[in-house]
Amino acid sequence: MSDKFFFKGRQDARQSHISYGYQTKASHKPGTQKHPLELVVTSEARQQEVAAMVKEANLYANIQVNVQPGATESISELTVLLDKSSPLQVEKKPERNEACLCGSGIKYKKCCA
């Protein structure tokens, strides 16, 4: 007999990637224990400075010291995370019939609006 008369359920066309365990929405946050930052510095003193910056920011990093001549320092991942600005907090403007913020005691709509 044909499958036409017996409904067996919807056939999912994406079974191949589900059965192999791929993470379709994989993303990671750099600086965590699972995904530490990979930093390279040129001296032991600089390693201690960078380690203090990482600890202050509550991040995790693997810091390697490269003392070969002509070696360059690579801490750009850390500077990007440290320079992230926090969201701007805007002070709430009073409603029309509330007391004014200037301290005059008059309603906001008649004083500073």
DSSP letter, residue 7: -
In a domain, 54, yes or no: yes
Burial environment of residue 4 by CB neighbours within 10 A (0 to 12, 13 to 18, 19 or more) = exposed
What's phi and psi for 93, nearest 5 deg?
-75, 135
The strand ranges marked E within 46-107 are 61-65
The strand ranges marked E within 1-113 are 37-41, 61-65
In a domain, 63, yes or no: yes
In a domain, 64, yes or no: yes
Q: What is the pLDDT of residue 18?
A: 55
In a domain, 17, yes or no: no
Task: Inform me whether the pLDDT recorded for 103 exceeds 60.
Answer: yes
In a domain, 34, yes or no: yes
In a domain, 94, yes or no: no
- Residue 24: pLDDT band (50, 70, 90) is low
- The tally of domains found in the chain comes to 1
In a domain, 55, yes or no: yes
Q: What is the pLDDT of residue 11?
A: 65
Domain interval for residue 46: 29-82
